[in-house]
Structure 1
Amino acid sequence: MSKSTAWKYGIFVVAWLCWASLSVGAQITDSVEVTALRTIKRSLIDPNKNLSNWNRGDPCTSNWTGVVCYNRTLTDGYLHVQQLLLLKMGLSGSLSPELGNLLYLQILDFMWNSISGSIPKEIGNITTLELLLLNGNNLTGPLPEELGYLPNLDRIQIDQNNISGPIPVSFSNLNKTKHFHMNNNSISGQIPPELSRLPSLVHFLLDNNNLSGYLPPEFSELPSLLIIQLDNNHFDGTTIPASYSNMSKLLKLSLRNCNLQGEIPDLSRIPNLGYLDLSLNLLNGTIPTERLSENITSIYLSNNNLTGTIPVSFSNLPRLQILSIANNSLSGSIPSTIWQNRTLNGNESLTVELQNNELSNITGDTNLPQNVTVWLQGNPLCSNTNLVSFCGSERDADNKNQGPTSNTLDCDSPGCPPPYEHSPKSPERCICVAPLLVGYRLKSPGFSDFRPYISMFEDHLTNGLDLLLYQLYIVNFEWEEGPRLKMYLKLFPNNQSGNPFIFNRSEVRRIMNMYTSWKIPDSDIFGPYELLNFTLLDMYKDVIATSPRSGLSKGALAGIVVGTVAGAVAMSAVVSLLILRKRMKKYNAVSRRRRASKASLRIDGVKAFNYGEMAMATNNFNNSALIGQGGYGKVYKGILADGTVVAIKRAQEGSLQGEKEFLTEIELLSRLHHRDLVSLIGYCDEEGEQMLVYEFMVNGTLRDHISAKCKEPLSFAMRLRIALGSAKGILYLHTEANPPIFHRDIKASNILLDSNYTAKVADFGLSRLAPVPDIEGTVPAHVSTVVKGTPGYLDPEYFLTHKLTDKSDVYSLGVVFLELLTGMQPISHGKNIVREVNLAYQSGMIFSVIDERMGSYPSECVVKFLNLALKCCQDDTDARPSMADVVRELDSIYLMMPESDIKIADPMVTDVEKVMSSPPSSSTVKNPYVSSEVSGSNLDSGVVPTIMPR
């Protein structure tokens, strides 16, 4: 590198550092959104403490309960809140005006809580807002006029609150708003006719309010309107505007119990009208004789003052499910063609309600086809004894109000272990899988009987979610007041995919995002929907990764950072020049070696990530993602582009290996596949960085769980199972890895626990050596090497002789066993755990050192486990058992355990789980069980964890 080139680099570095100092300083001091979030958090009372997930800087690739989602925008480089989702968390308190400071917010979702107070007018400042979702709370007060100036608002849902006052005229400015869901409040006054200027309005739901005045005739000018639902309001005896006959796109007109008067307009010119409810009003005159749309499913005209005869035009309506004209003053004959021209299959039905009129006769055939019901009580024709079948007492038609509640399969295989269950519609019969549970409600469906539409609904929803038809199962459905259709669904994994037992994390995120962002396409017949709940079974509860971090005083930090950065710029520039000159001399040679080695490295199952992918996964290696650090470097929790949660071990510059050794290491690690070893997913080796990407272990380290700080101590049975899993993983390293591996640093913080507390040995890569055959091909029994390891776990003979053997790992594992039994640290206050337990054993006081926090235990099993641990910790190498002997002894102890303890400690030892764990590779099988108590993992020797159990 020439001097001129070096100086050019130096000038660039100085310029960059100057910009960085301004940028960092601005980012630190620009705390408007951070301050706003803290204020918002304080204003909400959270009995479940779910708001601990609020962190600044956590990227959000999907959204769900209790998550604050950020995005680093390209315009200014700052972190801005884009989504605030606190759905169904039991929150109370009020909404803070500081919400208006989240100027980049797109989704504001506080649905299904108990939040009170009024809607802050400051929300009107968030010009980026697209979804305002506040339904299902206890909000009061009027609608702020400022909400009418949100230029990008697509959906406003404030239903099921106690909002009062009028609809602001300013809402006529919401040119992009498609959905007005304001039902079930106390909104009063006149519907502003100015709303007829809304070009995008599709659903207008204001039923169950206190609206008065008149129905705006101008609504006929709304170009996109599909649903008008205004039931149970008080429109002062107004008439239905005749102009509504010109609504060319209208699908549903529901004006039940609105104090309407006058005649029914001719609605036959609405080509796709499917649902008409004008019941419980004061309508008079005759029923229009023009034939309604062939799409009509439901006609409700009962409880009015209608006169005249029943039009023949009610015949030949192929989709009609209910015709209700009861409790009027209709007279004359009933045309039997209403039902005689219909052919109904087993799922279809037709109900004709004509009770309490002045009807005197039926013209035509009085024999009813299958699935047709006609009610005529209270009419003069019921005096005719030939029509007694039409005039009997009414029966409750429950079969149309609720649907299937269970599905039983005749399976030869045993039942599935909870929470797994048989997939009812899977092509592979009786397969055990873990579903997603969804509470779902259709807010304004265009039918009265769901049964004929079940298949259509399944097609609609699976297409919208991009799922196969057999992946959806409707557990049950029932009609609620409204009428609204509530249902509970189960979504099953695709057993044609790589993992047939559970959804992978990216798929769960995708499906959640489809629901919570309203990305499922609208349907004409099913109308708008709402999500009641999205229940994640235990194996899915780590889908949204969050990283606890302590708050910082931004104001205090700002001065420190800005001053420090400014003072460091000059010195950094000088140092950078010197470093650049030195490094550039080596650059060409190194880059040639890297290109050659990378070109030749193609490892199945191990992905080569680039630096950008790693930076994106960790939010540019933000401290909020840091979960551990040690002599080798730092460990970060990351989320890959496909949603996979991983642990990324990033080497610090001083500990970088040579290129050849690093890639050889990866190639060797890629061959290690065992249920009880943490899997290597990939690596990154570019831009002077060396990183390893491992599967993320939800429940952290064994050390966390046997420490005194752990809130829920492990039972003895669970500790025994962890010991057995750890021993099996190390046995694999000693006997089946090629070449065999001596771990050299086994300790409680290098044994990680997955979501079902299955033990997985970690850090068997960068801190291990394998025995090398001598010149005659004989594999020596030991490796002569510099002593490495952790005090307290170190094999005394290895320490003295520098001879590493498989028995060195046995000794270290024996110390872990003693930790499991006693809860002690290996070395604490000058006391060594091996010496202390030996003294207690020799004095007959062994139970005095057993950890009381693990509850009751079978003493015989504890004594045998203790004896094994002490044998492993013998000073004499030859006196220690082999790892195979350790596994056999632990197996025998496990078989001695009471069956009740085993069931609690080992819920996954079932036929199904054995299938799921075969082949025994932790890289191909992700156990689904999840604990939310502890997060973080430690993949590094000498790591000091930064995350403690919550």
Structure 2
Amino acid sequence: MANNHHHHPSSATPPPISAAFRMATWMYQSKSWVYSSVLVLCLCFSLLHVGAQNGITDPVEVSALREIKKSLIDPNKNLSNWNQGDPCTANWTGVLCFNSTLNDGYLHVRELQLLNMNLSGALSPQLGRLSNMEILDFMWNDLTGSIPKEIGNITSLKLLLLNGNKLSGSLPEELGNLSNLDRIQIDENRISGPIPKSFANLDKVKHFHMNNNSISGQIPSELSKLPELVHFLLDNNNLSGYLPPEFSELPSLLILQVDNNHFDGTTIPETYGNMSKLLKLSLRNCGLQGPIPDLSRIPKLGYLDLKSNQLNGTIPPDKLSDEIKTIDLSNNNLTGSIPSSFSELPQLQKLSVANNSLNGSVSSNIWTDRTLNSTESLKLDFQNNRLTDITGSTNIPQNVTVSLRGNPVCDSDNTSLVQFCRPENEDENNGTVLTNSTTNCPTALCPYPYEISETSPVNCFCAIPLIVDYRLKSPGFSDFVPYKSEFEGYLSSGLVLHQYQLEIVTFAWEKGPRLRMTLKLFPVYVENSTHTFNTSEVRRITNLFTGWNIPDSELFGPYELIKFTLLGPYANVFSSSKGESGIGKGALVGAIVGGIAGATALSAIVSLLILRMRMKRNYQATVKRRQMSKAFLKIDGVKDFSYSEMASATNDFDSSAQVGQGGYGKVYRGILADGKVVAIKRAQEGSLQGEKEFLTEIELLSRLHHRNLVSLIGFCDEEGEQMLVYEFMSNGTLRDHLSAKSKEPLSFSLRVRIALGSAKGILYLHTEANPPIFHRDIKATNILLDSKFTAKVADFGLSRLAPVPEIEGNVPAHVSTVVKGTPGYLDPEYFLTHKLTDKSDVYSLGVVFLELLTGMHPITHGKNLVREVNSAFQSGTIFSVIDERMGSYPSDCVEKFLSLALKCCHDDPDSRPSMAEVVRQLENLWLMMPESNTKLTEEVITAKAGKEVSPPSSSSEVKNPYLSLDISGSNLDSGVIPTIVPR
């Protein structure tokens, strides 16, 4: 997997000499002999320094990369762009570069990240020519052959990651030259031969991961000189000889794991009891003999596994650390009694002394003295010893398992002991455990690749996750469940994410024992966003994993990254995209700067003067452009307000004038100098648009004139502020009046009238606006009601222009765009294909119609309104979901309105009516209603011509146009203009 987040490539980056020439030309045109003279000096220096340079990346390294590719077999063509352009500036897959501190004018390869790319073939000796590399990552491929000794030439190397291949042969002595190496991972290969004594020179190495190979011979005692060594994992090899007693002198060692080797007939050194920092000692199945040393002096020992050796003597009586969680002494030749100190271990999860020759009694204090919560467990295995009875209580608490099968105590007829004498499953690798869904959200709610975040505080939150296969290589516990929450906190903190953004999908114990997990990382919920990580965030997170930049944990131990699954828009994050990073232009500047490093201080002064002159000119040009842009926007009916006018209208933006706040900023109720009441939407600093985009939006809104669209009155773009001034809608949002908190519920006739007005506003956008517009965020909070309860569609922040005719005259059927909108209202087809059409707005408006009929939200407690109404319709119980608060209604009209709403919400866009058809059916519906009178009928008919008509006069339809509005539950993040009107 490539990880190119450090670069800003340019597809046609010129060499430094070209940049210097252009600078000289510009200086000549400045007509200043001082500037020109200084630049001549700089140019000469540059020519001398980089004149022979033909490319950006060091040619030696370019040649090496091409040879490296020749030695690899790449069936998936992941490295197909390794023949195109320059490695650093063209973003070759997996190649990360930086500007060298050598001042040689070249870029150099810093990382080679080729994780999990199905590569086979061999590692080329040419790797040794990447002499500035820091990370070499070929994990989880299918490479064969040996590890080239030439890698030992890369003295800058920090991470050597070759695990999960089929590499064979011996470890080269030359790897001992890697004086900056932090981590060597060659586990899960077929490496044979001894560990070179030269590895004792790796003064900075912290992690030795060489497990699951065929490494043989004696562990060199010289490795005890390594001052930084933290993890020493050499389990599952063919090591022989003895365990070096000198390892007790390792000052930083936390984990010593050498299970399944052949130290036949040797003992565990007594000195190992002096390892003051040791957290885990795992020497399972190593042929060890003799007694167990006293390990009680190790203050934080949490895991002791000496299973399946030939240890003899008694179990040391001294109490082990309070941190101990696992003790496995099974399958040895131990004698004597079970120490009473085992009942004094507060964090114990597993104690196994099975298959020894222990005798005497078992004290029930080992399990009765423990108080376990619902997630904790205790497993005690005393099988196949010579234990004769239990002292104390024979009651076993919940979450405790005690097995005494195969002991004399189980030969008695005491029925109270049956629970102790059942067969016990010895399989420690207990299979996959799935996390259970805690929500009631339908799985079909989120079209692929969107998924429901089970841990998000937002109910039924659909987003595209990053999926990570992850494994703890040497965890310090036997039962993960009690530490699951702690792990989530640890990893999310290391990733700089909220804990709710991390979801553990599965976890399972594998041989080792190691703990494998599948993780999902979800973006933070932001209303009206695509609910995806942006490119830089994906790259930041992957860099934390692939660079091993997540801090180590004493409890969870070392981890390994197995696989990233990048769905949907993430799939191309690491492709050779242009303009994303920083190495193209940055490298060019670096080369020039290196070339002129010897120029005099005068050149810096001259450059500063030039910069100031250019900034002044740019500022003047910007001011002129803004003046011209504003002059262009002198449109009838749209006023360019000054900041002072806005401040005066809102009493200096006093908090008493604020009526809402959302993601865009704050909304104020203002009174202009002429007494007109307006809504002023003031952008906060972080949401300011570019000047061009802001003025373009105003120009777009200024052309929308319809009685069912909220009118733009003016704008303010002054003193670093961006404000939009709208007509004030005194009855707030439709959602406010559908809420259970609404004191005056809407009648059915008024709901139909609101639906008709909303549909007409959308129809105008689709067919009469020039050019046509797709709204893209139709919802009940974006339909506002004026004092006469006339519905007006608002908030065009997400709107997109409809497709324009192509050269051939054909009009595309859709706009391809990033998915934006609000969950519950989004067209499933748009969600899936990113193709926005007029039928996408039809779907959203259909959901609003269902809200009008039921009073319910689009998503409530995980239930989707469209599916709920469809289900009730099909089961013949549709009237059970109709909003009772709207009083009496004609059932035939409700059925027709419902039928229209469900057609609008059809999954297939082609099966939905057009907006024109929606308006026609609503007009016909209105004419059928008993409440319809001559005046309202005339309104429906004449509205087609855009004529203003008087509001309904029926007291049953408009009971109180001046309702007090509660905005505490309003959805303001979308920038909807909420309103409060005093009684």
Q: 2:287 aligns with which of 259, 262, 265?
A: 259
User: Would you say 1:291 and 2:319 are equivalent positions?
Assistant: yes
Conservation of the 8 A alpha-carbon contact between 1:444 and 1:483: yes
Measured after TM superposition, the shift of residue 494 of structure 1 is 1.0
Partners of 1:166 and 1:39 in 2: CA distance: 30
Contact 2:765–2:773 (CA under 8 A) maintained in structure 1 = no
Q: Alpha carbons of 1:346 and 1:2: their partners in 2 closer, same or farther (altered >3 Å)?
A: closer
Instruction: Assess if the C-alpha contact under 8 Å between 1:729 and 1:760 holds in 2.
Output: no
Contact 1:730–1:761, Cα closer than 8 Å, also in 2: no
**RMSD over aligned Cα atoms:** 4.3
Q: Which residue of 2 aligns with 1:12?
A: 38
Q: Residue 27 and residue 368 in structure 1: after superposition, are their counterparts in 2 closer, same or farther (change >3 A)?
A: same
Q: Alpha-carbon deviation of 1:15?
A: 3.4
The equivalent of 1:416 in structure 2 is: 446
* Whole-angstrom CA distance in 2 between matches of 1:586 and 1:251: 61
Classify 1:810/1:533 alpha carbon distance in 2 versus 1 (closer, same or farther; 3 Å): closer
Residues 267 and 290 in structure 2, CA contact (< 8 A), matched pair in contact too: yes
Stretches of structure 2 that go unaligned for 5 or more consecutive residues are 1-26, 580-591, 593-607, 628-689, 702-763, 775-797, 816-902, 912-970, 977-983
The aligned residue for residue 502 of structure 1 is 532
* Greater Cα shift, 135-144 or 664-673: 664-673
Structure 1 stretches of 5 or more lacking a match? 550-564, 566-583, 604-662, 675-726, 738-757, 765-808, 821-894, 904-915, 922-950
SS in 2 for 1:532: strand
Deviation at 1:224, TM superposition (A): 0.4
What SS class does the counterpart of residue 70 from structure 1 fall into?
A: strand
Could you tell me whether the CA contact under 8 Å between 1:374 and 1:390 is conserved in 2? yes
- 1:70 matched to 2:97? The reply is yes
Are positions 1:327 and 2:352 aligned together? no
- The answer to whether the aligner puts 1:232 opposite 2:260 as a matched pair is yes
Contact 2:169–2:190 (CA under 8 A) maintained in structure 1: yes
Checking the alignment, whether the CA contact within 8 Å between 2:335 and 2:359 is kept in structure 1 is: yes
1:559-638 equivalences in 2 (<5 Å): 592-598=616-622
CA contact (8 A) 1:323 1:352 kept: yes
Corresponding position of 2:328: 300
Deviations 1:82-139 (A, max 9, x none): 0100010000000001100101111100000001111111111111111100000010
- For 1:586 and 1:360, the matched residues in 2 are separated by 94
In structure 1, what is the equivalent of residue 941 of structure 2? none
> Does the aligned pair in 2 maintain the 1:476–1:489 contact within 8 Å?
yes
User: Counterpart of 2:96 in structure 1: which amino acid?
Assistant: C
| Superposed CA offset, 1:222-267 (max 9, x none) | 0000000000000121100000000000000000000000100000
Contact 1:401 1:449 in 2 (8 A): no
Q: Deviations for 1:393-446, whole angstroms, at most 9, x for unmatched residues?
A: 225789965422442521389611112122112111111111111111000000
Counterpart-to-counterpart distance in 2, 1:100 and 1:298: 44
Task: Return the match for 2:492 from 462, 477, 480.
Answer: 462
Change (3 A) 1:148 1:730: farther
Partner amino acid, structure 2, of 1:70: C
Alignment of 1:35-434 (within 5 A): 35-54=63-82, 57=86, 66-74=93-101, 75-386=103-414, 387-395=417-425, 401-407=431-437, 409-411=439-441, 415-434=445-464
**2:465, 2:521 within 8 Å by CA — same for their partners in 1?**
yes
Q: Which residue identity is paired with 1:9?
A: Y
- 1 CA distance for matches of 2:435 and 2:611? 68
**Map of 2:523 onto structure 1:** 493
- State the shift of 1:5 in Å: 7.7
Residue 735 of structure 1, CA deviation = 6.5
Separation in 1, partners of 2:974, 2:30 = 59
Cα distance in 2, alignment partners of residues 760 and 813 from structure 1: 22
More divergent stretch after superposition (28-37 vs 349-358): 28-37
**Partner Cα separation in structure 2 for residue 466 and residue 239 of structure 1:** 45
Distance 2:383 2:143 in 1: 45
**What one-letter code is carried by the residue in structure 1 that aligns with 2:228?**
S
Cα 1:483–1:729 shift into 2, 3 Å: farther
**CA offsets 1:544-591 (integer angstroms, 9 cap, x no match):** 241599xxxxxxxxxxxxxxx9xxxxxxxxxxxxxxxxxx99999976
**SS class of match (1:26):** coil
Where has structure 1 moved over 4 Å in runs of 4 or more? 1-5, 55-61, 395-401, 584-593, 599-603, 663-674, 727-733, 758-762, 815-818, 898-903, 918-921
User: For residue 848 of structure 2, what is the aligned residue in structure 1?
Assistant: none
Give the Cα separation in 1 of the matches to 2:76 and 2:30: 62
| 1:516-527 equivalence runs, <5 A | 516-527=546-557
Shift of 1:493: 1.0
Query: Deviation of residue 761 (structure 1)?
Result: 8.6
Taking a change above 3 Å as real, the CA distance of residues 460 and 124 of structure 1, as seen in their structure-2 partners, is: same
Q: Which amino acid aligns with 1:12?
A: V
Alignment check: 8 A CA contact 2:50 2:105 kept:
no
Give the TM-score of the pair, scaled to structure 1.
Answer: 0.61
Q: Secondary structure at the match of 1:27?
A: coil
Q: Deviations over 1:291-335 (max 9, x none)?
A: 000110100000001111111111121111111001111111112
**Could you tell which deviates more after superposition, 381-390 or 275-284?**
381-390
SS in structure 1 at match of 2:316: coil
SS in 2 for 1:147: helix
Q: Is the CA contact 1:148–1:171 (under 8 Å) kept in the aligned structure 2?
A: yes
For 1:86 and 1:130, the matched residues in 2 are separated by: 16
Residue 168 and residue 672 in structure 1: after superposition, are their counterparts in 2 closer, same or farther (change >3 A)?
A: farther
Alignment of 1:699-714 (within 5 A): none
Give the 5 Å matches for 1:499-898: 499=529, 501-547=531-577, 592-598=616-622, 668-669=695-696, 734=771, 812=807, 814=809
Q: Secondary structure at the match of 1:351?
A: strand
Please tell me the residue identity of whatever aligns with 2:449: P
Residue identity in the other structure for 1:69: L
Identity percentage of aligned residues: 58
Counterpart AA for 1:425: T
| Aligned partner of 1:436 among 451, 459, 466 | 466
Equivalenced residues, count = 630
Q: Is the 8 A contact 1:175 1:199 kept in 2?
A: yes
In structure 2, which of residues 48, 53, 58 is the aligned counterpart of residue 27 of structure 1?
53
Q: Which residue matches 1:873?
A: none
Q: Are the aligned partners of 1:108 and 1:133 in contact in 2 as well (CA < 8 Å)?
A: yes
Distance in 2 (CA, whole Å) between partners of 1:413 and 1:180 is 44
Closer, same or farther in 2 for the Cα pair 1:66/1:112, shift >3 Å? farther
Q: Distance in 1 between matches of 2:294 and 2:255?
A: 18
8 Å CA contact retained: 1:321, 1:448: yes
Q: Report if aligned partners of 2:187, 2:211 keep a CA contact under 8 Å in 1.
A: yes
Q: Aligned to 1:446, which of 469, 473, 476?
A: 476
Task: Tell whether the 8 Å contact from 1:407 to 1:424 is kept in structure 2 after alignment.
Answer: yes
Cα deviation digits, residues 731-787 of structure 1 (max 9, x gap): 9774689xxxxxxxxxxxxxxxxxxxx99999x9xxxxxxxxxxxxxxxxxxxxxxx
Q: 2:914 aligns to what?
A: none
Distance (Å, rounded) in 1 between the aligned partners of 2:429 and 2:491: 23
One-letter amino acid matched to 2:256: I
Secondary structure at the counterpart of residue 128 of structure 1: coil
Q: Distance in 2 between matches of 1:327 and 1:586?
A: 84
**Structure 1's 810 and 260: CA in aligned 2 closer, same or farther, altered over 3 A?**
closer
CA distance in 2 between counterparts of 1:503 and 1:137 reads 31
